[in-house]
Amino acid sequence: MTVTVETLEKLERKITLTVPVTAIQSEVDARLKKMARTVKMDGFRPGKVPMNVVAQRYGYSVQYEVLNDKVGEAFSVAANEAKVRVAGQPRISEKEGAPEGELNFEAIFEVYPEVKLGNLADTEVEKLTAEVSDAAIDKTVDILRKQRRTFAQRAQDAAAQDGDRATIDFEGKIDGEVFSGGKAEDFQFILGDGQMLKEFEDAVRGMKSGESKTFPLAFPADYHGQDVAGKTADFLVTVKKIEAANLPEVNEALAKSLGIADATVEGLRADIRKNLEREVKFRLLARNKQAAMDALVAKAELDLPQAIVQSEIERLKEGARADLKQRGIKDADKAPIPDDIFRPQAEQRVRLGLVVAEVVRGNTLHAKPEQIKAHIEELAASYERPDDVVRWYNSDNQRLAEVEAVVIESNVSDFVLAQAKVVEKAITFEELMGQQA
Protein backbone atom coordinates (compact mmCIF):
# COMPACT_ATOMS: atom_id res chain seq x y z
CA MET A 1 0.00 0.00 0.00
CA THR A 2 1.34 3.41 -0.97
CA VAL A 3 0.64 6.03 1.67
CA THR A 4 0.87 9.73 0.91
CA VAL A 5 1.68 11.95 3.88
CA GLU A 6 0.89 15.62 3.38
CA THR A 7 2.72 18.22 5.48
CA LEU A 8 0.34 20.90 6.71
CA GLU A 9 2.34 23.02 9.18
CA LYS A 10 5.49 22.34 11.20
CA LEU A 11 4.71 18.99 12.87
CA GLU A 12 1.17 18.62 11.50
CA ARG A 13 0.55 15.95 8.88
CA LYS A 14 -2.43 14.53 6.95
CA ILE A 15 -3.13 11.05 5.63
CA THR A 16 -6.18 9.97 3.61
CA LEU A 17 -7.60 6.62 4.72
CA THR A 18 -9.79 4.25 2.71
CA VAL A 19 -12.01 1.65 4.36
CA PRO A 20 -14.04 -0.85 2.23
CA VAL A 21 -17.76 -0.85 3.12
CA THR A 22 -17.79 -4.65 2.78
CA ALA A 23 -15.17 -5.01 5.51
CA ILE A 24 -17.27 -2.91 7.86
CA GLN A 25 -20.52 -4.75 7.10
CA SER A 26 -18.86 -8.14 7.42
CA GLU A 27 -17.52 -7.26 10.88
CA VAL A 28 -20.88 -5.78 11.95
CA ASP A 29 -22.68 -8.99 10.93
CA ALA A 30 -20.15 -11.13 12.79
CA ARG A 31 -20.50 -9.11 15.99
CA LEU A 32 -24.30 -9.08 15.83
CA LYS A 33 -24.37 -12.88 15.35
CA LYS A 34 -22.09 -13.32 18.36
CA MET A 35 -24.27 -10.96 20.38
CA ALA A 36 -27.45 -12.81 19.39
CA ARG A 37 -26.21 -15.96 21.17
CA THR A 38 -26.38 -14.35 24.59
CA VAL A 39 -28.57 -11.23 24.31
CA LYS A 40 -31.67 -11.12 26.50
CA MET A 41 -34.94 -9.43 25.46
CA ASP A 42 -38.45 -9.56 26.86
CA GLY A 43 -40.58 -12.13 25.06
CA PHE A 44 -37.65 -14.25 23.84
CA ARG A 45 -35.59 -17.01 25.39
CA PRO A 46 -31.86 -16.23 25.79
CA GLY A 47 -30.07 -16.95 22.50
CA LYS A 48 -33.34 -17.17 20.53
CA VAL A 49 -33.79 -13.49 19.65
CA PRO A 50 -34.19 -13.14 15.83
CA MET A 51 -31.28 -11.48 14.03
CA ASN A 52 -33.45 -8.72 12.58
CA VAL A 53 -34.59 -7.76 16.10
CA VAL A 54 -30.98 -7.78 17.39
CA ALA A 55 -29.88 -5.68 14.42
CA GLN A 56 -32.72 -3.22 14.98
CA ARG A 57 -31.83 -2.78 18.66
CA TYR A 58 -28.03 -2.85 18.51
CA GLY A 59 -27.11 -2.35 14.83
CA TYR A 60 -26.30 1.37 15.05
CA SER A 61 -24.05 1.14 18.12
CA VAL A 62 -22.23 -1.93 16.75
CA GLN A 63 -21.71 -0.22 13.39
CA TYR A 64 -20.30 2.84 15.19
CA GLU A 65 -17.87 0.67 17.17
CA VAL A 66 -16.76 -1.28 14.08
CA LEU A 67 -16.26 1.90 12.05
CA ASN A 68 -14.08 3.38 14.79
CA ASP A 69 -12.07 0.16 15.02
CA LYS A 70 -11.58 -0.17 11.27
CA VAL A 71 -10.58 3.48 10.83
CA GLY A 72 -8.17 3.15 13.77
CA GLU A 73 -6.65 0.04 12.24
CA ALA A 74 -6.34 1.74 8.84
CA PHE A 75 -4.59 4.72 10.44
CA SER A 76 -2.17 2.48 12.35
CA VAL A 77 -1.29 0.53 9.18
CA ALA A 78 -0.87 3.74 7.16
CA ALA A 79 1.33 5.38 9.83
CA ASN A 80 3.55 2.29 10.01
CA GLU A 81 3.76 2.12 6.23
CA ALA A 82 4.76 5.80 6.05
CA LYS A 83 7.22 5.33 8.94
CA VAL A 84 5.92 8.35 10.87
CA ARG A 85 6.10 8.64 14.67
CA VAL A 86 2.66 9.86 15.68
CA ALA A 87 2.48 12.25 18.63
CA GLY A 88 -0.86 12.18 20.41
CA GLN A 89 -4.23 11.16 19.00
CA PRO A 90 -5.16 11.91 15.37
CA ARG A 91 -8.22 14.00 14.45
CA ILE A 92 -10.19 11.88 11.96
CA SER A 93 -13.10 13.09 9.84
CA GLU A 94 -15.02 11.50 6.95
CA LYS A 95 -14.50 12.85 3.41
CA GLU A 96 -17.36 13.23 0.98
CA GLY A 97 -17.31 11.98 -2.59
CA ALA A 98 -15.73 8.59 -1.94
CA PRO A 99 -16.06 5.95 -4.72
CA GLU A 100 -18.92 3.47 -4.37
CA GLY A 101 -18.13 0.72 -1.91
CA GLU A 102 -15.57 2.79 -0.01
CA LEU A 103 -15.45 5.27 2.86
CA ASN A 104 -12.70 7.86 2.87
CA PHE A 105 -11.36 9.65 5.93
CA GLU A 106 -8.82 12.37 6.60
CA ALA A 107 -6.51 11.85 9.54
CA ILE A 108 -4.75 14.99 10.75
CA PHE A 109 -2.07 14.40 13.35
CA GLU A 110 1.28 15.56 14.68
CA VAL A 111 4.60 13.77 14.48
CA TYR A 112 7.46 13.82 16.96
CA PRO A 113 9.93 16.58 16.15
CA GLU A 114 13.50 16.36 15.05
CA VAL A 115 15.59 17.38 18.06
CA LYS A 116 18.75 19.30 17.22
CA LEU A 117 21.18 19.14 20.12
CA GLY A 118 23.63 22.00 20.42
CA ASN A 119 27.31 21.73 21.21
CA LEU A 120 27.70 21.69 24.99
CA ALA A 121 31.45 22.26 24.93
CA ASP A 122 31.04 26.05 25.10
CA THR A 123 28.23 25.93 27.68
CA GLU A 124 29.01 26.94 31.25
CA VAL A 125 27.22 24.97 33.99
CA GLU A 126 27.44 25.89 37.66
CA LYS A 127 27.96 22.86 39.89
CA LEU A 128 27.27 23.37 43.59
CA THR A 129 29.23 21.81 46.44
CA ALA A 130 28.48 21.89 50.16
CA GLU A 131 29.82 20.40 53.38
CA VAL A 132 28.13 19.42 56.62
CA SER A 133 29.56 21.78 59.24
CA ASP A 134 29.74 21.33 63.01
CA ALA A 135 27.30 24.23 63.27
CA ALA A 136 24.77 22.27 61.19
CA ILE A 137 25.15 19.30 63.53
CA ASP A 138 24.72 21.61 66.55
CA LYS A 139 21.52 23.03 65.05
CA THR A 140 20.17 19.52 64.42
CA VAL A 141 20.96 18.53 68.01
CA ASP A 142 19.01 21.61 69.20
CA ILE A 143 16.04 20.60 67.03
CA LEU A 144 16.09 17.07 68.49
CA ARG A 145 16.22 18.52 72.02
CA LYS A 146 13.26 20.82 71.30
CA GLN A 147 11.25 17.85 70.04
CA ARG A 148 11.76 16.19 73.43
CA ARG A 149 11.34 19.21 75.68
CA THR A 150 9.09 19.18 78.72
CA PHE A 151 7.28 22.12 80.34
CA ALA A 152 6.86 23.29 83.94
CA GLN A 153 4.51 26.05 85.08
CA ARG A 154 6.14 29.37 85.87
CA ALA A 155 5.34 31.49 88.93
CA GLN A 156 2.18 33.60 88.73
CA ASP A 157 4.15 36.85 88.39
CA ALA A 158 6.63 35.53 85.76
CA ALA A 159 6.51 37.25 82.35
CA ALA A 160 6.14 35.17 79.16
CA GLN A 161 9.34 34.95 77.13
CA ASP A 162 10.58 33.16 73.99
CA GLY A 163 10.60 29.39 74.43
CA ASP A 164 7.71 29.43 76.92
CA ARG A 165 4.44 27.66 76.24
CA ALA A 166 1.51 30.01 76.74
CA THR A 167 -2.08 28.87 77.31
CA ILE A 168 -4.49 31.63 76.34
CA ASP A 169 -8.06 32.57 75.52
CA PHE A 170 -8.45 34.97 72.59
CA GLU A 171 -11.18 36.65 70.59
CA GLY A 172 -10.62 38.63 67.42
CA LYS A 173 -13.15 40.98 65.84
CA ILE A 174 -13.27 42.81 62.51
CA ASP A 175 -15.68 45.74 62.39
CA GLY A 176 -17.05 44.56 65.73
CA GLU A 177 -17.86 41.04 64.54
CA VAL A 178 -16.02 37.81 65.53
CA PHE A 179 -14.66 36.18 62.37
CA SER A 180 -14.31 32.49 61.58
CA GLY A 181 -11.32 31.02 63.46
CA GLY A 182 -10.90 34.21 65.45
CA LYS A 183 -11.89 32.80 68.84
CA ALA A 184 -10.43 30.02 71.00
CA GLU A 185 -10.15 28.91 74.62
CA ASP A 186 -7.20 27.14 76.28
CA PHE A 187 -5.18 27.62 73.11
CA GLN A 188 -1.49 26.70 73.46
CA PHE A 189 1.47 27.96 71.47
CA ILE A 190 5.20 28.36 72.02
CA LEU A 191 6.56 31.88 71.88
CA GLY A 192 9.24 32.38 69.26
CA ASP A 193 8.40 29.28 67.22
CA GLY A 194 6.56 31.27 64.55
CA GLN A 195 3.28 29.42 64.99
CA MET A 196 1.43 32.72 65.37
CA LEU A 197 1.83 36.00 63.48
CA LYS A 198 4.70 38.17 64.78
CA GLU A 199 2.36 40.93 66.02
CA PHE A 200 0.39 38.36 68.02
CA GLU A 201 3.55 36.96 69.64
CA ASP A 202 4.83 40.46 70.36
CA ALA A 203 1.60 41.25 72.21
CA VAL A 204 1.74 38.12 74.41
CA ARG A 205 5.47 38.35 75.12
CA GLY A 206 5.93 39.92 78.58
CA MET A 207 2.38 39.20 79.78
CA LYS A 208 1.78 37.35 83.07
CA SER A 209 -0.73 34.69 84.08
CA GLY A 210 -4.16 36.23 84.63
CA GLU A 211 -3.44 39.33 82.54
CA SER A 212 -5.58 40.48 79.61
CA LYS A 213 -4.69 42.76 76.73
CA THR A 214 -6.44 44.27 73.71
CA PHE A 215 -4.41 45.06 70.60
CA PRO A 216 -4.86 45.58 66.84
CA LEU A 217 -3.46 43.02 64.38
CA ALA A 218 -3.13 43.66 60.65
CA PHE A 219 -3.37 40.45 58.61
CA PRO A 220 -0.98 40.28 55.62
CA ALA A 221 -2.52 40.65 52.16
CA ASP A 222 -1.34 37.10 51.30
CA TYR A 223 -2.63 35.52 54.52
CA HIS A 224 -4.01 32.02 53.94
CA GLY A 225 -7.38 32.93 55.46
CA GLN A 226 -8.89 34.86 52.54
CA ASP A 227 -11.76 36.26 54.64
CA VAL A 228 -9.36 38.24 56.82
CA ALA A 229 -6.41 38.79 54.44
CA GLY A 230 -5.42 42.45 54.29
CA LYS A 231 -7.81 43.41 57.12
CA THR A 232 -7.13 44.65 60.66
CA ALA A 233 -8.67 42.86 63.64
CA ASP A 234 -8.96 43.85 67.30
CA PHE A 235 -7.87 41.02 69.59
CA LEU A 236 -8.60 40.45 73.28
CA VAL A 237 -6.10 38.00 74.80
CA THR A 238 -6.14 36.54 78.31
CA VAL A 239 -3.12 34.56 79.52
CA LYS A 240 -4.17 31.59 81.63
CA LYS A 241 -0.86 29.79 82.11
CA ILE A 242 2.81 30.20 81.27
CA GLU A 243 5.15 27.21 81.22
CA ALA A 244 8.93 27.23 80.91
CA ALA A 245 10.61 24.75 78.59
CA ASN A 246 13.09 22.22 79.90
CA LEU A 247 15.45 20.86 77.24
CA PRO A 248 17.11 17.48 77.79
CA GLU A 249 20.86 17.46 78.28
CA VAL A 250 23.08 16.34 75.43
CA ASN A 251 24.30 13.08 76.94
CA GLU A 252 24.15 9.31 76.61
CA ALA A 253 20.52 9.26 77.77
CA LEU A 254 19.49 11.50 74.85
CA ALA A 255 21.45 9.34 72.39
CA LYS A 256 19.82 6.22 73.79
CA SER A 257 16.32 7.73 73.57
CA LEU A 258 16.97 8.41 69.88
CA GLY A 259 17.86 4.77 69.22
CA ILE A 260 21.50 5.46 68.37
CA ALA A 261 23.46 2.18 68.28
CA ASP A 262 26.54 3.87 69.77
CA ALA A 263 24.67 5.56 72.62
CA THR A 264 27.28 8.25 73.29
CA VAL A 265 27.44 11.95 72.47
CA GLU A 266 30.08 11.17 69.84
CA GLY A 267 27.88 8.41 68.42
CA LEU A 268 24.89 10.78 68.30
CA ARG A 269 26.84 13.44 66.41
CA ALA A 270 28.30 10.84 64.03
CA ASP A 271 24.81 9.52 63.27
CA ILE A 272 23.53 13.05 62.65
CA ARG A 273 26.48 13.80 60.35
CA LYS A 274 25.82 10.61 58.36
CA ASN A 275 22.14 11.50 57.87
CA LEU A 276 22.87 15.13 56.99
CA GLU A 277 25.56 14.10 54.49
CA ARG A 278 23.06 11.80 52.82
CA GLU A 279 20.54 14.64 52.61
CA VAL A 280 23.21 17.03 51.29
CA LYS A 281 24.16 14.50 48.63
CA PHE A 282 20.58 14.14 47.39
CA ARG A 283 19.96 17.89 47.39
CA LEU A 284 23.19 18.61 45.52
CA LEU A 285 22.34 15.95 42.97
CA ALA A 286 18.89 17.49 42.47
CA ARG A 287 20.21 21.06 42.14
CA ASN A 288 23.08 20.10 39.83
CA LYS A 289 20.83 17.86 37.77
CA GLN A 290 18.44 20.77 37.26
CA ALA A 291 21.32 23.04 36.18
CA ALA A 292 22.51 20.40 33.69
CA MET A 293 18.99 19.91 32.30
CA ASP A 294 18.47 23.66 31.93
CA ALA A 295 21.74 23.93 30.00
CA LEU A 296 20.80 20.98 27.79
CA VAL A 297 17.36 22.35 26.91
CA ALA A 298 18.74 25.85 26.29
CA LYS A 299 21.06 24.45 23.58
CA ALA A 300 18.39 22.31 21.88
CA GLU A 301 16.17 23.27 18.96
CA LEU A 302 12.80 21.60 18.40
CA ASP A 303 9.13 22.23 17.71
CA LEU A 304 6.65 21.08 20.35
CA PRO A 305 3.80 18.70 19.44
CA GLN A 306 0.76 20.61 20.69
CA ALA A 307 -1.18 17.37 21.21
CA ILE A 308 1.36 16.23 23.81
CA VAL A 309 1.46 19.69 25.39
CA GLN A 310 -2.33 19.61 25.70
CA SER A 311 -2.21 16.15 27.29
CA GLU A 312 0.32 17.45 29.83
CA ILE A 313 -1.89 20.46 30.55
CA GLU A 314 -4.84 18.15 31.22
CA ARG A 315 -2.68 16.01 33.52
CA LEU A 316 -1.58 19.08 35.49
CA LYS A 317 -5.17 20.32 35.73
CA GLU A 318 -6.32 16.97 37.07
CA GLY A 319 -3.52 17.10 39.64
CA ALA A 320 -4.63 20.59 40.68
CA ARG A 321 -8.24 19.45 41.05
CA ALA A 322 -7.14 16.45 43.14
CA ASP A 323 -5.17 18.82 45.38
CA LEU A 324 -8.21 21.09 45.80
CA LYS A 325 -10.38 18.08 46.62
CA GLN A 326 -7.89 16.92 49.27
CA ARG A 327 -8.13 20.37 50.85
CA GLY A 328 -11.88 19.96 51.15
CA ILE A 329 -12.89 22.34 48.34
CA LYS A 330 -16.47 21.59 47.26
CA ASP A 331 -16.94 20.36 43.65
CA ALA A 332 -13.18 20.54 43.11
CA ASP A 333 -13.40 17.97 40.30
CA LYS A 334 -15.55 20.44 38.32
CA ALA A 335 -13.40 23.50 39.01
CA PRO A 336 -12.81 25.49 35.78
CA ILE A 337 -9.06 25.88 35.32
CA PRO A 338 -7.83 27.83 32.26
CA ASP A 339 -5.23 26.03 30.13
CA ASP A 340 -2.95 29.07 30.11
CA ILE A 341 -2.22 28.68 33.83
CA PHE A 342 -0.32 25.46 33.15
CA ARG A 343 0.80 25.99 29.55
CA PRO A 344 4.34 27.29 30.31
CA GLN A 345 4.96 24.44 32.77
CA ALA A 346 3.53 21.87 30.35
CA GLU A 347 5.64 23.16 27.46
CA GLN A 348 8.78 23.07 29.59
CA ARG A 349 8.09 19.48 30.70
CA VAL A 350 7.37 18.28 27.16
CA ARG A 351 10.46 20.04 25.81
CA LEU A 352 12.66 18.51 28.52
CA GLY A 353 11.17 15.05 27.98
CA LEU A 354 11.80 15.12 24.23
CA VAL A 355 15.35 16.43 24.59
CA VAL A 356 16.26 13.90 27.30
CA ALA A 357 14.80 11.06 25.21
CA GLU A 358 16.95 12.11 22.25
CA VAL A 359 20.12 12.30 24.37
CA VAL A 360 19.40 8.91 25.91
CA ARG A 361 18.74 7.31 22.51
CA GLY A 362 21.75 8.86 20.83
CA ASN A 363 24.24 8.14 23.60
CA THR A 364 22.94 4.86 25.06
CA LEU A 365 22.25 6.32 28.49
CA HIS A 366 19.49 3.88 29.47
CA ALA A 367 19.37 2.79 33.11
CA LYS A 368 21.32 -0.40 33.77
CA PRO A 369 19.92 -2.99 36.22
CA GLU A 370 22.88 -2.50 38.57
CA GLN A 371 22.25 1.28 38.62
CA ILE A 372 18.60 0.78 39.55
CA LYS A 373 19.60 -1.70 42.26
CA ALA A 374 22.21 0.68 43.70
CA HIS A 375 19.80 3.62 43.73
CA ILE A 376 17.11 1.64 45.56
CA GLU A 377 19.64 0.47 48.14
CA GLU A 378 20.77 4.05 48.68
CA LEU A 379 17.19 5.21 49.17
CA ALA A 380 16.55 2.37 51.61
CA ALA A 381 19.69 3.02 53.66
CA SER A 382 18.08 5.81 55.71
CA TYR A 383 15.27 3.54 56.95
CA GLU A 384 15.31 1.35 60.03
CA ARG A 385 14.66 -1.80 57.97
CA PRO A 386 16.32 -1.29 54.57
CA ASP A 387 15.57 -4.79 53.29
CA ASP A 388 11.83 -4.17 53.64
CA VAL A 389 12.14 -0.93 51.65
CA VAL A 390 14.11 -2.70 48.88
CA ARG A 391 11.39 -5.37 48.65
CA TRP A 392 8.74 -2.63 48.58
CA TYR A 393 10.34 -1.03 45.51
CA ASN A 394 10.97 -4.33 43.73
CA SER A 395 7.40 -5.55 44.27
CA ASP A 396 5.82 -2.85 42.10
CA ASN A 397 6.59 -2.12 38.43
CA GLN A 398 5.38 1.47 38.72
CA ARG A 399 7.79 2.19 41.57
CA LEU A 400 10.62 0.55 39.62
CA ALA A 401 9.75 2.68 36.59
CA GLU A 402 9.99 5.83 38.73
CA VAL A 403 13.43 4.78 39.98
CA GLU A 404 14.49 3.99 36.40
CA ALA A 405 13.43 7.49 35.31
CA VAL A 406 15.53 9.06 38.09
CA VAL A 407 18.57 6.99 37.12
CA ILE A 408 18.18 7.97 33.45
CA GLU A 409 18.02 11.65 34.43
CA SER A 410 21.20 11.19 36.46
CA ASN A 411 22.91 9.55 33.48
CA VAL A 412 21.91 12.48 31.26
CA SER A 413 23.05 14.97 33.91
CA ASP A 414 26.45 13.26 34.17
CA PHE A 415 26.72 13.28 30.38
CA VAL A 416 26.02 17.02 30.20
CA LEU A 417 28.46 17.86 33.00
CA ALA A 418 31.14 15.78 31.26
CA GLN A 419 30.63 17.73 28.02
CA ALA A 420 30.15 21.26 29.36
CA LYS A 421 32.41 23.76 31.10
CA VAL A 422 31.77 23.09 34.77
CA VAL A 423 32.27 25.91 37.26
CA GLU A 424 32.17 24.69 40.85
CA LYS A 425 30.60 26.92 43.47
CA ALA A 426 30.73 26.17 47.19
CA ILE A 427 27.64 27.13 49.19
CA THR A 428 26.89 26.78 52.88
CA PHE A 429 24.83 24.00 54.35
CA GLU A 430 22.16 26.57 55.30
CA GLU A 431 21.96 27.91 51.74
CA LEU A 432 21.52 24.40 50.36
CA MET A 433 18.81 23.52 52.87
CA GLY A 434 17.02 26.82 52.32
CA GLN A 435 17.61 28.02 55.89
CA GLN A 436 18.67 31.34 57.29
CA ALA A 437 22.35 31.47 58.20
Residue 122 is assigned to a structural domain of this protein = no
Which of 189, 220, 246 lies at the terminal end of a domain, its last residue?
A: 246
- The whole-model pTM stands at 0.72
The percentage of residues in the chain with a pLDDT greater than 90, rounded to a whole number, is: 71
Angle 265-298/397-419 helices, nearest 10 degrees?
Answer: 70
Q: How many domains does the chain have?
A: 3
DSSP 210: T
Which of 63, 95, 111 lies at the terminal end of a domain, its last residue?
A: 111
437 has a pLDDT exceeding 50:
no
Q: Supply the CATH number for residue 62's domain.
A: 3.30.70.1050
330 and 393 both lie in a single domain: yes
Residue 335 is assigned to a structural domain of this protein = yes
In sequence order, the β-bridge partners of residue 405 are none
Residue 119 is assigned to a structural domain of this protein = no
For residue 342, give its domain range. 255-433
Q: What is the pLDDT of residues 406-436, one digit of tens each?
A: 999 999 999 999 999 999 999 999 999 985 4
Count Cβ atoms within 10 A of the Cβ of residue 106 and give its class: 0-12 exposed, 13-18 middle, 19 or more buried.
middle
**Residue 428 confidence (pLDDT):** 93
325 and 417 both lie in a single domain: yes
The larger pLDDT score, comparing residue 332 to residue 237, is at 237
Q: What is the pLDDT of residues 254-297, one digit of tens each?
A: 999 988 888 899 999 999 999 999 999 999 999 999 999 999 99
Contacts of 257 (CB under 8 A, 6+ apart): 148, 248
HSE-CB at 52 with a 13 A cutoff on CA atoms is 0
Q: What is the pLDDT of residues 143-157, one digit of tens each?
A: 999 999 999 999 999
Q: Supply the CATH number for residue 325's domain.
A: 1.10.3120
